[in-house]
Amino acid sequence: MRHVYLVLILLLCGVIVLGCGKDKQQPPATAGEETATTKSVEKAGSAEKAESQEPASAEKSGGTGSAEKTESMEATAPAEAGSATKEPESKYPKEYIGKDGAKMALIPEGAFQMGNANGDRDESPVHPVQLDAFYMDIYEVTNAQYKKFVDATGHPVPRSWDDAALNGPNQPVVWVSWDDAVAYAEWAGERLPTEAEWEYAARGGLSGKLYPWGNELPGAGGEFRANYYPLGGKSDGYDKTAPVGSFPPNKYGLYDMAGNVWELCADWYYEHWYGYEKQVLNPQGPTDEYAKSNGYVRVRRGGAWSRRGKDLTCANRGNQQPGNGDDKTGFRCVISAKDVVP
């Protein structure tokens, strides 16, 4: 009987020793995590590194270990980063190439104040908006891109393709209606941006500024920041549309968010909508009954080559009949980041 007790005691000791050993193996792991979190500034880089290394290490170690490690690093990131930076965006690659071949930039999830209290009446009241991450074409859709769509689908050709002032391959496509733009977006597996997404993207992460670059007028100091209609006409270098990307991008890497061509958005336009809007997260614009009171027109944003500088503000709102086109209006597409990286 004593022998049995002895054996049991020995076994118990063994279990305890093993247990302690296990505990002792953990500190290096948590210490590693700690160093990772204390280096929060480098986190984005190291997280990317971990992601890019994942396939290789997954093969080596059977996958689960390194995957867990990556996950735990990501999980600690938001808590550590707190209010300092927008780290969660590192979950998604910075760039994405759409099915139409267009380069798209990641617009990170975040919140902003939509509208401009000192702008036109339809830009008030300023109200909070929260958006999930999405990708946006860095350029307005060009004639060359639109031709791929026309060739593939037999969609009608825009009338501007006869006009030498507008039909350059890298000029934005114009004389497209909202219906045409939606057809293109669907063909590309994408969609038009909501009005809120458009304004958030145009602001490029700047808070409370008038234009994508700040508060200066587009031609302040003789330095042109957009294609518009400066005093005297075309001193910005372009009489009508400019090839996309002719002016510097905003901080999200988006070109021509101010000027060149107006850009169609998904939403109906209703001039008093901001006073009724209740949806903070991913707002979709006016419901049918409000759209009706403005005669069912769609939002367009950003001003155009035909407009004075003050019309190029991020918050300025325009509209257009959904079946109409003109030589001042084009579009660009977006896709939700979760539809690209589930």
Applying CB under 5 A, the residues found at the interface with Ca ion are 227, 234, 236, 238, 256, 260, 302, 305
- Name the residue nearer to Ca ion (CB basis): 204 or 277: 204
**At 208, which amino acid appears?**
G
CB of 236 vs Ca ion, minimal distance in Å: 4
Contact 128, 111 (CB under 8 A): yes
Query: Where on the phi/psi map is residue 253: left (φ > 0), alpha (ψ -120 to 50), or beta?
Result: left
- SS3 of 262, please? strand
- Residue 18: CA count within 13 A, CB half-sphere: 6
Q: Which residues pair with 330 in a beta bridge?
A: 263
**At 230, which amino acid appears?**
P
- Side by side, the strands of the sheet bearing 134-137 are 95-97, 103-107, 134-137, 334-336
- Name the residue nearer to Ca ion (CB basis): 77 or 107: 107
| Residue closest to 108 by CA, chosen among 93, 123, 126, 97 | 93
- Name the residue nearer to Ca ion (CB basis): 213 or 238: 238
| Residue closest to 268 by CA, chosen among 280, 282, 250, 283 | 283
CB of 302 vs Ca ion, minimal distance in Å: 4
- Name the residue nearer to Ca ion (CB basis): 92 or 229: 229
Under DSSP, the state recorded for 247 is S
- Name the residue nearer to Ca ion (CB basis): 135 or 238: 238
Q: How far is CA 165 from CA 205, 301, 315, 327, in A?
A: 34, 22, 29, 10
CB of 65 vs Ca ion, minimal distance in Å: 48
CB of 58 vs Ca ion, minimal distance in Å: 43
CB of 245 vs Ca ion, minimal distance in Å: 11
CB of 275 vs Ca ion, minimal distance in Å: 27
**At 112, which amino acid appears?**
F
- Listed in sequence order, the DSSP H helices in the chain are 2-38, 43-61, 64-81, 143-153, 178-187, 195-203, 288-293, 337-340
Q: What is the CA radius of gyration of the chain?
A: 26
- Name the residue nearer to Ca ion (CB basis): 92 or 228: 228
- Name the residue nearer to Ca ion (CB basis): 92 or 247: 247
CB of 300 vs Ca ion, minimal distance in Å: 9
d(CA 38, CA 223): 42
- Name the residue nearer to Ca ion (CB basis): 256 or 327: 256
Token look-up 């204390």 returns 38
CB of 166 vs Ca ion, minimal distance in Å: 13
